[in-house]
Amino acid sequence: MGIGKFKCLAVIVALTAMFASTSSDTIAKEMKDAPSVALSNAFLGNAWRRSMITAFEEAAAKAEKDGIISSWKVSNAPGENSATEQIAQLKALLLEKPDILLVNPASATTLNPTLQKACDMGIVVVVFDSATDLECAYIVTNSFGDWARLSTQAVIDAIGGKGNVIVARGVQGSPPEIEMSAVQKKLLAANPDVKVVGEIVSFCDSAKAQEALLSTIASLPKVDGVIGCGEGLGAVQAFQTAGRDAPVVAFAPSGRALKFWGEGNGAPGSVAVMSDPGQGVAALFTAVNIYQGKKIPRVTIFPPVVVSDDERDKWIAAVGDDEIASWQWTKELVDAQIQANIDGKVADAALPPVPVR
């Protein structure tokens, strides 16, 4: 080989090595390390919150094992949903400088200054199961309108689009109840053969629904269905106590309510619907996408849990007596739901499969 050709080859080799090195450095800079995650929970005082934490811990442990996140921590504030106590908790978490902060808040507004500080530190902040007007925070939530639509339509369909129903109202004046009531009224207006023969205030609580119904059942004609927000167990028990046929109802998807339903209580076509305790897991994988630089809507809607007659027994096997049914979100399922939000097709998105435990 001539000296000129040798020098030329040497230059080519050197340039190739330089570009390869530069390309590797660029890729390395574009790829972020797996993030550390902290979850702040305002309180742990009911089955929904406990189920949410259980689902999150299971998913976070697997995500760490799979290298999706580097570490995770759950911090449950003491007391009964105190914003003051959660702020103190959040300040302690910020000292650890997590890459991602997930928050199930005690208040939609009181935490804002503390969460703004997290944003200013470069932390990805995702609020779930609630709302916030803090512009730097992302929101992962269920639609209360979807909850009302799914449970109300199920009752209407089960009674064949005609018959007498009672409407059980939640916490009157609260934003969720206002949204749910508007959807219920719209669906009832679209089905004029469904007659509302009574209305109670249940606070979406079985015991309160049972008490309210027992005081009014005697004065009511035949009732085919109860349209509400998860107080089905108490509604059925009230009709049984009064010696009347149980109507179609919407249960809460708790282990106890599902087993009660599975034992033949409640008319055929009943359903169980509730906001998903798996929202914490959905928030986790949504936040990882944001951390990795993907464009995500500021508000991402995920589906509530829906348990039909056909799949009830599968859910009973998957939910403990003191648990609330939750979707078993994976990163792939979350990515699909995010895309449905981007495409404006949330209502048409496929639901996750029934969990297997």
Confidence of residue 12 (pLDDT cuts 50, 70, 90): very low
Phi first, then psi, for residue 109 (nearest 5°) are: -130, -35
In a domain, 214, yes or no: yes
Task: Give the number of domains in the chain.
Answer: 2
Confidence of residue 14 (pLDDT cuts 50, 70, 90): very low
Q: Taking 70 as the threshold, does the pLDDT of residue 316 lie above it?
A: yes
Of 62-71, 86-95, 166-175, 283-292, the poorest mean pLDDT is in 166-175
Q: Taking 90 as the threshold, does the pLDDT of residue 25 lie above it?
A: no
In a domain, 8, yes or no: no
69-88 pLDDT, tens digit each: 999 999 998 877 789 999 99
Q: Taking 60 as the threshold, does the pLDDT of residue 24 lie above it?
A: no
Averaged pLDDT, 37-60: 93
In a domain, 105, yes or no: yes
Averaged pLDDT, 263-280: 96
Residues 6+ positions from 49 with CB-CB distance below 8 Å: 41, 43, 104, 277
Q: What is the model's pLDDT at position 31?
A: 61
Averaged pLDDT, 192-205: 95
In a domain, 49, yes or no: yes
Residues 6+ positions from 134 with CB-CB distance below 8 Å: 112, 115, 116, 119, 125, 127
User: What is this structure's pTM?
Assistant: 0.83
In a domain, 309, yes or no: no
Q: Taking 60 as the threshold, does the pLDDT of residue 6 lie above it?
A: no
* Cα 98 from chain centre: 23
Q: What is the model's pLDDT at position 30?
A: 58
In a domain, 12, yes or no: no
Domain check: are 215 and 246 in the same one?
A: yes
Question: Do strands 299-302 and 250-251 pair parallel, antiparallel, or not at all (unpaired)?
Answer: unpaired
Domain check: are 210 and 104 in the same one?
A: no
Domain check: are 124 and 52 in the same one?
A: yes
Instruction: Give the position of tokens 């001539």.
Output: 2
Range of the domain at 160: 144-274
In a domain, 3, yes or no: no
Q: Work out the number of other CB atoms within 10 angstroms of the CB of residue 244.
A: 14
Domain check: are 152 and 106 in the same one?
A: no
User: Which CATH number do you get for residue 40?
Assistant: 3.40.50.2300
Domain check: are 159 and 109 in the same one?
A: no
Angle between helices 112-120 and 83-94 (to 10 degrees): 10
Confidence of residue 23 (pLDDT cuts 50, 70, 90): very low
Domain check: are 125 and 240 in the same one?
A: no
In a domain, 228, yes or no: yes
Q: Taking 70 as the threshold, does the pLDDT of residue 15 lie above it?
A: no
Q: Taking 50 as the threshold, does the pLDDT of residue 168 lie above it?
A: yes
Domain check: are 175 and 270 in the same one?
A: yes
Confidence of residue 108 (pLDDT cuts 50, 70, 90): confident
Mean pLDDT of the residues in the chain: 90
User: Are 41 and 104 spatial neighbours (Cβ–Cβ below 8 Å)?
Assistant: yes
Q: Determine what percent of the chain is predicted with pLDDT higher than 70.
A: 91
Q: Taking 70 as the threshold, does the pLDDT of residue 20 lie above it?
A: no
203-248 pLDDT, tens digit each: 899 999 999 999 999 999 999 999 999 999 999 999 999 999 999 9
- Rounded distance, CA 308 to CA 27, Å? 47
Phi first, then psi, for residue 82 (nearest 5°) are: -90, 120
Q: Taking 80 as the threshold, does the pLDDT of residue 16 lie above it?
A: no
Of 80-89, 190-199, 264-273, the poorest mean pLDDT is in 80-89
Q: Identify which has the larger pLDDT, 341 or 357.
A: 341
Confidence of residue 174 (pLDDT cuts 50, 70, 90): confident
Q: Taking 60 as the threshold, does the pLDDT of residue 255 lie above it?
A: yes
279-290 pLDDT, tens digit each: 999 999 999 999
